Amino acid sequence: MCGIVGFTGAQNAAPILLEGLKKLEYRGYDSAGIAVMDGNSISVNKVTGRIANLCEKTDNGKAVKGGTGIGHTRWATHGAPTSENAHPHLSNDGKFAVVHNGIIENYMSLREKLISEGYHFESETDTEVIVHLIEKYYKGNVREALIKTTNKLRGSYALGVICAENPGTLYAAREASPLILGLGTDENYFASDVTALVAHTRNVIYLEDGEFAELTADSIKIFDCLGAEINKKVVRVMWDVQAAEKGGYEHFMMKEIKEQPAAVKATITPRIKDGKVVFDELDITADKLKNINKILITACGSAYYAGCAGKYALEKLCNIPVSVELASELRYSEPIIDEHTLLIVISQSGETADTIAAMKECKQKGAAVIAVVNVVGSTVAKLADYTVYTWAGPEIAVATTKGYTTQVTVLYLLSIYFADKLGLIKEDYGKYVKSVQSLPRFVQQAIDMNPQIESLAKKYHSSKALFFIGRNTDYAVSLEGALKMKEISYLHSEAYAAGELKHGTIALIEEHQPVIALCCNENIMEKTLSNIVEVKARGAEVLALTFRNNEKIVSVADDLMFIPEIDPIFSGVVEIVPLQLLAYFVAKENGCDIDKPKNLAKSVTVE
Ligand code: G6P
């Protein structure tokens, strides 16, 4: 997501802040800014686009005087990527500047209250409420104002603050968003990511949730949430810069696989309030929904497969037929669409050319368009009637992981939301909401319960081909699993609906042919089991994905991957995780360039 840096010491702060921000560029961002304190005055410089623009604006920082400052790279969430929305944000009296990572969930109500009290807002961001709250609560003690402010915030934050009345001091606070303090000699730092620190110091302190810090050039004080000073361990970081960017992982893909519990949580949290699914971004009335007789999902690549996985939940809960079409096909197929069609467009980047074209075509024919997008302010987001952001954070590996799982999560939430509006799921409502709320935990378990996948990869990596089979959601997830495998390991891998095997593909099954069988739905398990038996009778090696205590499958499969037991309506988000891990380890075994596979691009903006 966004990046934070802070510096205080005898050197000029701006060049150091700019260097730090450059180290955070890999995380993705769309605007940047710094605030530097010179004596009792704070100067702010912000730009849209690259850090190079900020360097140009400030003569590489040389034009900005002062030894204490904070900097930020913003990856837009609340409000478009403009310089007004870029951080740092200033208080109305100009005494405080704030940078923030995370999302303040209750910012709307705080903003309304602050406006009624006379505070003036310059941006559309959730962050700006923080700096006005600090001004409001400041009575001469910044730490007290910060504690009072953070008590009012719901959501996640890493905060960097400077106050014109306290030259030379940096303030920091953290809740559910990383913030690390760097200990230098006669100078100190903070950053949201150790990458920005290792060029200066390897001695760091990791702030924990609820903690605050005050840094001057020669001291660091840390306080708990009640303001009592605490002692924290100094940790020596041994990572080099490249390893630090990847959070210590060898590849971004693994980092992003591991980020999925948090990413899925970020998708869900703002959409479940008091046990109800809410979408503040959608104002579709029940009457309008009742008028919809068809849901059409369109997308490309993994986003298309996310649609395939979400279709089952949408149909089951909403009782509306759902079709999923590849955008590149839909745009030329003269689709039958009218004002009774609801189009759901899915795109991580929001810039995929075919997706944009298909969306325009359907919109022109009268469909209402909901976009499920990760990148704020992207073309798909702008063109849609309604935009639901996935909040997955920037994805760097070309092969999507958290992008896909958060897309499927949005479709699950939409299924419950629509079905409720249509009055269809009164009794099961609470059960469904709970199932979706459990997804981050189940995703974590799916990561934790499969250490064997690394050695399974050693067994399967040299196969000529891999076949994936499954039914319904298992089939949809097979499609994405096979895509992950071919994208990064270059192994020929294909997914088939398990029942279709006997209509052709079974001819390819021979001695030791690996077949990856997804069996995660109790209701249709017997059927897939028959297909497993069929391929085994022809010599296949079966690697099954199922529940740990599922005796039926465990006893026939040659090898196993597991997921926790989960309602099959919402299982897609969890089932994909072991397949991502399998693709990753097979690719690693084959010595492939995992984060940048050959011939592929992260965002395909041409037809
Ligand atoms: C490219 C990427 C895929 C992605 C697809 C659609 O092919 O490599 O990972 O699924 O585009 O991208 P979008 O940004 O529209 O989701």
Centre of ligand 1 from the C-alpha of residue 399, in Å:
8
The reply to whether ligand 1 has any atom less than 6 angstroms from the CB of 597 is: no
Give the 3-state secondary structure of residue 370. strand
Give which of 408, 439, 399, 392 is closest to 582, Cα–Cα. 399
pLDDT at 243 over 80: no
Locate the ligand 1 atom nearest the alpha carbon of residue 487 and give its number: 8
DSSP string, 50-70: -HHHHHHHTTTTTTS--SEEE
Ligand 1 lined by 400 (C-beta under 6 Å): yes
DSSP 302-364: HHHHHHHHHHHHHHHHH---EEEEEHHHHTTS-----TTEEEEEEESSS--HHHHHHHHHHHH
What spacing in Å lies between the alpha carbon of 261 and ligand 1's midpoint? 21
**Is the predicted pLDDT of residue 603 greater than 80, yes or no?**
no
459-482: average pLDDT: 96
Asked if pLDDT for residue 50 goes beyond 90, the answer is no
Q: Which of 253, 351, 352 should be mutated for ligand 1, with most atoms under 8 A from CB?
A: 352
In order of start, what are the domains of the chain with their CATH numbers? 3-243 (3.60.20.10), 247-437 (3.40.50.10490), 447-593 (3.40.50.10490)
Closest ligand 1 atom to the C-alpha of 305? 10
| Per-residue pLDDT, 607 | 59
* Vertex 256 angle, CA 103 and 376, to 5°: 40
Q: Return the pLDDT at 485.
A: 98
Check if the beta carbon of residue 468 is closer than 8 Å to that of residue 481.
yes
State yes or no: pLDDT of 604 exceeds 80. Answer: no
Q: Tell me the CA–centroid distance for residue 147 and ligand 1, in Å.
A: 42
If you measure from the C-alpha of residue 5 to the centroid of ligand 1, how many angstroms do you get, rounded to a whole number? 31
pLDDT at residue 605, rounded to an integer: 67
CA 88 to chain centroid: 23
Give the tens place of pLDDT for each residue, 55-114: 999 999 999 999 999 999 998 888 888 999 999 999 999 999 999 998 898 999 999 999
Told to judge if 276 belongs to the known catalytic residues of this protein, a careful annotator would answer no
Q: Is 352 in the pocket of ligand 1 (CB under 6 A)?
A: yes
- Asked if residue 606 has pLDDT above 70, the reply is no
In the predicted structure, residue 1 carries a pLDDT above the cut 60: no
Q: Ligand 1 pocket: which of 297, 305, 349, 374 to mutate (most atoms <8 Å of CB)? A: 349
| Residue 602 in contact with ligand 1 by CB distance below 6 A | yes
Residue pLDDT, tens place only, 163-193: 999 999 999 999 988 899 999 999 999 999 8
pLDDT tens column, 362-417: 999 999 999 999 887 788 998 999 999 999 987 889 999 999 999 999 999 999 99
Please tell me the distance from the alpha carbon of residue 371 to that of residue 170, in angstroms, as a whole number.
40
Q: For 542-571, how does the pLDDT look when each residue is reduced to its tens digit (9 = 90+)?
A: 999 999 889 989 999 999 999 999 999 999
Ligand 1 atom closest to Cα of residue 380: 15
Given pLDDT bands bounded at 50, 70 and 90, which one contains residue 199? confident
Ligand 1 touching residue 375 (CB < 6 A): no
The three-state DSSP-derived secondary structure of 283-319 is CCCHHHHHCCCEEEEEECHHHHHHHHHHHHHHHHHHC
Least confident of 27-36, 209-218, 445-454: 27-36
CB of 348 closer than 6 A to ligand 1?
yes
Ligand 1 atom with the shortest distance to the CA of 300: 6
Nearest CA to ligand 1 atom 15: 347
Answer yes or no: 233 catalytic.
no
Q: How far is the CA of 252 from the centre of ligand 1 (A)?
A: 16
- pLDDT category at 237 given cuts 50, 70, 90 is confident
For 501-545, what is each residue's pLDDT tens digit? 889 888 899 999 999 999 999 999 999 999 999 999 999 999 999
Determine the residue of 253, 302, 487 to mutate for testing ligand 1's pocket, defined as the one with the most ligand atoms within 8 A of the Cβ atom: 302
Pocket test for ligand 1, best of 252, 253, 300 (most atoms within 8 A of CB): 300
Percent of the chain with pLDDT over 90: 81
Average pLDDT over residues 467-486: 97
**Overall average pLDDT of the 286-308 stretch:** 96
Q: Which atom of ligand 1 is nearest to the CA of 301?
A: 10
Average pLDDT, the chain: 93
